[in-house]
């Protein structure tokens, strides 16, 4: 399929990094019928509902996080998923742990499975880092903020998760106890965390 319409659509995809939501494709002048033709011809892969990617691109390195970044741009990767992203856990998350601002609508995403946490505004906005994953802009809490979050949710995660992460983080040059305590105060777990922080120093 090398019609001018297909060529223009392919060029529009490449200019946007190879992946477009249906709404973005339509805004770029691609008719929905063209999307379906390209999908049926094997030129596009449907990643998720309303999300298409050129089939000749290399496979996604982290498809779950890439999909969440594309479909839930207002969410922030948190807790065990953030620890896994920074290689600060031996846990393998079978869901994507995602923080949303309290009061926001839950995302409609059929895949990957999500485990949602609603944070207060101060907790939600603190410590967000921005990274690129497979060409998508990913929001993820930094390691220090994630330590505080894991202690806050220790009853749901188990205490062994934040303790292991803390030990692994302590070995890194970026470890900053004052930064951790800053986020511990925001998450209201400073008194809980202090004995563990003092034990590893």
Domain boundaries, given as residue ranges, for the chain: 4-54, 63-200
Q: How far apart are CA 112 and CA 106, in angstroms?
A: 14
CATH 1.10.10 fits 4-54, yes or no: yes
Dist. CA 13–CA 34, nearest whole Å: 12
Burial-class residue 175 by CB neighbours within 10 Å (0-12, 13-18, 19+): middle
Identify the pLDDT of residue 119: 97
pLDDT of residue 2: 65
Residue 117, phi then psi, degrees to nearest 5: -135, 130
| Partners of residue 15 on adjacent β-strands | none
- Return the structure tokens found at 99: 């923080």
What pLDDT does 61 receive? 78
Q: Which residues of 101-116 are buried (b: 16+ CB within 10 A; e: fewer)?
A: eeeeeeeebeebebeb
- Walk across the sheet containing 136-141 and list its strands: 114-119, 96-101, 76-77, 136-141, 128-133
CA distance 12 to 72: 22
pLDDT number for residue 75: 96
The one-digit pLDDT tens for each residue of the chain (201 residues) are 468 889 999 999 888 888 888 988 999 999 999 999 999 999 998 887 888 888 888 877 788 999 899 889 999 999 999 999 999 999 988 899 999 999 998 888 878 899 999 999 999 999 999 999 888 899 999 999 999 999 999 999 999 999 999 999 999 999 999 999 999 999 999 999 999 999 987
């Amino acid at each position: 399929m090398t019609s001018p319409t297909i060529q223009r659509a392919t060029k529009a995809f490449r200019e946007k990094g190879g992946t477009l939501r249906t709404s973005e494709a339509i805004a770029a002048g691609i008719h929905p019928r063209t999307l379906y033709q390209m999908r049926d011809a094997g030129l596009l892969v449907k990643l998720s509902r309303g999300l298409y990617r050129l089939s000749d691109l290399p496979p996604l390195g982290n498809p779950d996080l890439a999909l969440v970044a594309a479909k839930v741009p207002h969410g922030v990767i948190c807790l065990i998923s953030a620890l896994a992203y920074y290689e600060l856990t031996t846990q393998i998350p079978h869901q994507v742990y995602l923080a949303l601002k309290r009061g926001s609508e839950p995302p409609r995403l059929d895949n990957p499975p999500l485990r949602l946490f609603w944070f207060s505004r101060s907790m939600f906005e603190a410590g967000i880092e921005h990274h690129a994953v497979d060409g998508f802009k990913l929001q993820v809490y930094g390691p220090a903020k994630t330590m505080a979050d894991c202690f806050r949710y220790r009853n749901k995660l188990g205490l062994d998760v934040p303790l292991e992460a803390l030990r692994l983080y302590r070995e890194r040059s970026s470890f900053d106890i004052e930064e951790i305590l800053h986020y511990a105060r925001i998450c209201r777990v400073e008194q809980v965390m202090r004995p563990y922080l003092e034990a590893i120093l």
